[in-house]
Structure 1
Amino acid sequence: MNLVHLLGLGAFALGLDAYVTAGLLPVIADDFDSSVSATGQMVTAFTLAYAIASPIFATFLSASRVRAGLLGSLAVFALANAGSALSDSLPVLLVTRAFAGVGAGLYLALAAAAAASLVDKERRGRALAVIMGGMSSGTVIGVPAGVFIAEHTGWRSTLWLVTVLGFISFAGLALRLPALPATHSFSLRERAQVVTDPRVASIVGVSFLAAVASLGLYTYIAPVMATDAMGEVESITPYLWAWGIGGVIGSVLIGTLVDRVRRPYFLVVGALVLLVAALLAFRVTASIHPLIALLPIAIWGAVGWALQVPQQNDLLEARGEKGGPVAVALNESALYLGSAVGSGLGGLAFSLGRSGSVLPLWAAGAALLGLILQVTAVRTSSARRARPAPADTLTGGTD
C-alpha cells in the first residue's frame, strides 16, 4: 500500500465515521435510555466541530508542520472514536464526537494537500481522487457494513472498527510519510475577505441549504423509516445502500457534465430541482410501500453528492487561483454546518413530538429555499461579474 492509499484509508475511516451514526441512532438511544432527538445531537456535535473548529485549527497550524498536523489530527480522530466506543453516558459521547469532528475536518484538508505533494503534477488528480474516493467508499461500503456489524455485535463494535482503521493509517503514515513541503497559510482575515464576495456568499449559502436538506435528513433516516407512515422499516441497511450507491454514481457522472457544460450554474439548478422532487417522492412512495422509496432515496443520494462538484467549480472561477481554494474550504465548512443545523432541527422536531414522516417535507422545503437562492442571488451575482476576480484580490501570501 503506497502513501496516497494510506491517506485514502484514513479518509475511508472518516467517511464511515461521519455517516454511520445515522444508522445507529435508535440502538444508541435505547442503550443510553435517551430520546432519538437527544441522541441525534451526537451528529450535530461532530458536524458542528468539523465546520467551525477545524478551519480555525487549520488556519493557526504552521504551513511548515503539515506532517505533524496530519498525524496529530488522525491521532485525535482515532482516540476520540475510542472514547466514543467506551462512553458510558450521552454527555461523554457528545464530547468525544465533537473531538472526532475536529480531527476529521483537519485531517481531510491536510490529506488532500499531502496527496497532491506526493505525486507528479500529471498524477495529482488521481491522487486527490483516492482521498475523495476513500470518503465516498467509506459511506457506500463502510456505512452498511458498520450498521450490519452493529446489528449483530452492538454499536460500539462499529466505532472500534473506525478506531482500528484510524490507527492503521496513523501507524503506516508515521513510519513512511516523509517531511512535506510547506504550503501557503490563509489568515482568518483573508478568509473573511473571500466570504464577503457576494457571489461566493450566495454559492456557499446554496450549499448550506442543500446540506440542511440532504445531510440533515440522512441523520434521521432510520427513525424516519421506522414510523408508521413510512412503513415501519426495521432494517435500514438496504436504504443506506441505495443512498450511498446513488451518491457514488452521481459524483462520478457529474464530473464529465461539468467539463462539457459551459455554465455549471444550470447543473446546480437541475440538481436542486431533482433534490426537491426526490425528497417529496421519498415521503409519498414510502407511504405506499417502503421498497418503492429506494428509487427516490438513490436519486436523493446522487444529486446530494453531485451538487458540490459544479459548486466548487463555480467558486474556483469566482475567486481565481489564490482565492479559489479558500472559497472551496469555506464551502466545505458550510456543508458540515448545514448538516449540523439540519440534524439539530430534526432533533427539535422529535422533541416537539412531531412524527419523523414530516422530516422529508421539511427537507424538501430547505432544498426549495436553496433553489430560490440559486435562481436569484447566484444568478444576479454571476450576471454582474463580467469576468472572474483577479488572482491578486487577496494579499499577504503566495502559493
Structure 2
Amino acid sequence: MWEPEPSAPRTGPPRRAVSHAGPGRPGRGRPGPEGKDADVLRVILLALGALAVGTDAYMTAGLLPQISGEFRGSTAAAGQLVTVFAVSYALLGPLAQAALGRLGVRRVLLVSLAAFTLANAAGAAAPDAVSLAGTRVVAGAAAGVFMPTAAAAASLLAGPERRGRALAVVLGGLSCGTVLGVPVGLLLAGHTGWRSALWLVTGIGAAAHLGASLLLPPMDSAPLPSLAERAAQLKDRRTSVAVLTTFCQTVASLGLYTYLLPVLDAAGAGPGGAGLWVWGLGGVLGSFAVGPLLDRVPRPGLLTGLLLSALALALAAIGLARGPWWLWPLLAVWGAAGWAFVVPQQHRLLAAGPARGAAALALNSSATYLGGSAGAALGGAALAAGLAPHDLPLAASGCAVVALAVHLAGAGRGARRHGAQPPPGCPAVPPPGPSSAVRPRNRSPDP
C-alpha cells in the first residue's frame, strides 16, 4: 500500500475535474471523494473484486467431495469444474472483453463484476451438475474480463510513479483469495455445505460492485483492445516473450500447486493443510512487498529474472528436502517468488502505453490460467506414467528454468537491438545542451 503525498497549496485559477482516462478531456465529474486518498480507496475496491475472483477460482477444489456426493458423481468428474473455470477464464475472457471494449474501462469493470457475482449466486442455487458447470463457465469468463481490466484501471488511478504498488495491491487481493480459498471452502463445506461457500463469494463480489459503482471515476476515453489488436500484440517481440515467460512460469508454479498435498505427504512434511497456509502466506507477502520495490527499481526485467531464479532454486530444493523444518521455508519462498513475479510482468507490459498495455495484459492474464491448466495436466500425466510425487518439484523447477531462459533470451536480444536505449518505463536521458534544459512551468497541482 502506498501513502498519499501531502498536496501543495493551490495557485492559480481552479481547474475542472477531468477523467483519469486521458489528459485534457473534460470529465463528467468523479463519483465519490477526490484526491489521492480516494484513489487509494478505489484501488482497494479493485483488490476486493480480485479477492472474490481468487477465492472462487481455488475454493472449488475444497468443495469437490461434497459436490460429487450431492450430485452422485465421481470426484474426478466434479474436478472438471476447476478446469472449466480456468479454460473459460483463459479463452472466453479475452473474447468477452473484446466484445465489451467499446463500453470503456469503468463500465467493463462493473459489467464483468456483476456477471461474476450473479454467476456465483446461480451456482449456489444450481439444481444439478450441468447447471453448476454452466455457471462456472460464466464466472470464469467474467473473471477473465475483470482481472486484466482491474490491473489497467489500477495503473490509471495510481499514475506511473505508483504503478507498481497499485498493481501489487490488486494482485494481493487475488493472492489472499488463493490463500483463503481452499481452507475456507473446506471449513464452510464441513459446517454449512458447499453452497454457502459460493454465497460467500457472491457477497464479496456484490460488495466490490457496489463500492465500484459509487466511487470509480469514468475511465472510458479509449476503448479496450479488439481481438485484432490483441493478436497484433503477439507480433511485438517484448509482448510475446513476456507472455511465453508467464506461461512457462505458471506451468511450474501453479501447475505444481495442484499436487502440493501429495508432494508434501511424500516428503514427510506433516499435515498438508499447514503447508498450504505456508505457501499461501508467502504468496501474500511477496505480492504486497514487490510493489514498493518495483517502484524503486529502474529495470523491472532484472527483478523478473531474480524472481524466476529464486523460484527455480526453491522448487529444486523442495524436491530434495525432507521434513517440515526444511520444507516450510522453501514453500514460503516458492509462494513469494511465484506470486511476486506477476507484478513486474504487468508493469513492463503497461509501459507500452494504455491501449497496447491493456491488450498485452489480457494476453498475459490468459497465459497465466492456460499455464496453470497445462501444468496440472502435465503433472497428472507424469504421475499416471509412474513418476513419484517427490519428483514433481524437480520437473517444475526445470519449467522455471525454461521460463528464465526465455526471459533472458528476450532481454539479451532487446539489448542488442536497441543498444543503450533505456528499458521500458524508464525515461530517456537527453544529451546535454541547450535543448535539454528544463524549463520551469507554473502549474497547479492535480486535485
Name the TM tier (shorter chain).
Answer: 0.7 to 0.9
The correspondence of residues 129-278 of structure 1 with structure 2, limited to 5 A, is 130-141=169-180, 143-171=182-210, 173=212, 181-225=220-264, 227=265, 229-231=266-268, 236-278=272-314
Does the 8 Å CA contact 1:224/1:356 hold for their aligned counterparts? yes
Give the corresponding residue for 1:293.
327
The correspondence of residues 301-320 of structure 1 with structure 2, limited to 5 A, is 301-317=335-351, 319-320=352-353
Question: TM-score, length-normalised on structure 2?
Answer: 0.72
Q: 2 CA distance for matches of 1:146 and 1:246?
A: 20
Does the 8 Å CA contact 1:76/1:100 hold for their aligned counterparts? yes
Residues 70 and 252 from structure 1, CA distance in 2 versus in 1: closer, same or farther, beyond 3 angstroms?
closer
The correspondence of residues 73-84 of structure 1 with structure 2, limited to 5 A, is 73-84=112-123
Match of 1:43 among 56, 77, 82: 82
Q: 1 CA distance for matches of 2:192 and 2:140?
A: 25
Q: 2 CA distance for matches of 1:332 and 1:12?
A: 16
Does the 8 Å CA contact 1:315/1:328 hold for their aligned counterparts? yes
Residues 376 and 71 from structure 1, CA distance in 2 versus in 1: closer, same or farther, beyond 3 angstroms?
closer
Counterpart check, 1:333 vs 2:366 = yes
Residues 55 and 96 from structure 1, CA distance in 2 versus in 1: closer, same or farther, beyond 3 angstroms?
same
Does the 8 Å CA contact 2:54/2:173 hold for their aligned counterparts? yes
Does the 8 Å CA contact 1:83/1:96 hold for their aligned counterparts? yes
Q: 2 CA distance for matches of 1:71 and 1:260?
A: 32
Match of 2:418 among 363, 369, 385: 385
SS in structure 2 of the partner of residue 63 of structure 1: helix
- The code of the aligned residue for 1:274 comes to A
Q: Which runs of 5+ in 2 are unaligned?
A: 1-31, 33-37, 426-447
Instruction: Compute the displacement of 1:299 (Å).
Output: 0.7
SS in structure 2 of the partner of residue 186 of structure 1: coil
Instruction: Compute the displacement of 1:90 (Å).
Output: 5.3
Instruction: Compute the displacement of 1:188 (Å).
Output: 2.0
- The code of the aligned residue for 2:189 comes to A
Give the corresponding residue for 1:397.
none
Instruction: Compute the displacement of 1:24 (Å).
Output: 4.5
Give the corresponding residue for 2:319.
283
Give the corresponding residue for 1:342.
375
Q: 2 CA distance for matches of 1:224 and 1:321?
A: 42
Does the 8 Å CA contact 1:43/1:340 hold for their aligned counterparts? no
- Worse-matched range after superposition: 46-55 or 254-263: 254-263
Instruction: Compute the displacement of 1:211 (Å).
Output: 0.7
Give the corresponding residue for 1:369.
402
Larger gyration radius, structure 1 or structure 2: 2
The structure with the largest helix share of the pair is: 1
SS in structure 1 of the partner of residue 103 of structure 2: coil
Of all paired residues, the percent bearing the same amino acid is 46
Instruction: Compute the displacement of 1:298 (Å).
Output: 0.8
Q: Deviations over 1:156-204 (max 9, x none)?
A: 3322211222233345555776766443332222222221122321221
- The code of the aligned residue for 2:339 comes to W
Instruction: Compute the displacement of 1:338 (Å).
Output: 0.9
Count of residue pairs the alignment pairs up: 385
Q: 2 CA distance for matches of 1:259 and 1:129?
A: 11
Instruction: Compute the displacement of 1:215 (Å).
Output: 1.2
Instruction: Compute the displacement of 1:333 (Å).
Output: 1.9
Instruction: Compute the displacement of 1:75 (Å).
Output: 2.8
- The code of the aligned residue for 2:54 comes to G
Q: Which runs of 5+ in 1 are unaligned?
A: 392-399
Question: TM-score, length-normalised on structure 1?
Answer: 0.80
Give the corresponding residue for 1:53.
92
Q: 2 CA distance for matches of 1:220 and 1:25?
A: 15
Residues 176 and 364 from structure 1, CA distance in 2 versus in 1: closer, same or farther, beyond 3 angstroms?
closer
Give the corresponding residue for 1:97.
136
Q: 2 CA distance for matches of 1:258 and 1:148?
A: 36
Residues 197 and 164 from structure 1, CA distance in 2 versus in 1: closer, same or farther, beyond 3 angstroms?
same
Does the 8 Å CA contact 1:23/1:236 hold for their aligned counterparts? no
- The code of the aligned residue for 2:338 comes to G
Give the corresponding residue for 2:435.
none
Q: 2 CA distance for matches of 1:144 and 1:213?
A: 23
Q: 2 CA distance for matches of 1:388 and 1:324?
A: 18
SS in structure 1 of the partner of residue 102 of structure 2: coil
Give the corresponding residue for 2:56.
17
Does the 8 Å CA contact 1:73/1:104 hold for their aligned counterparts? yes
- Worse-matched range after superposition: 250-259 or 352-361: 352-361
Give the corresponding residue for 2:357.
324
Q: 2 CA distance for matches of 1:151 and 1:316?
A: 43
Q: 2 CA distance for matches of 1:125 and 1:388?
A: 18
Q: 2 CA distance for matches of 1:322 and 1:390?
A: 15
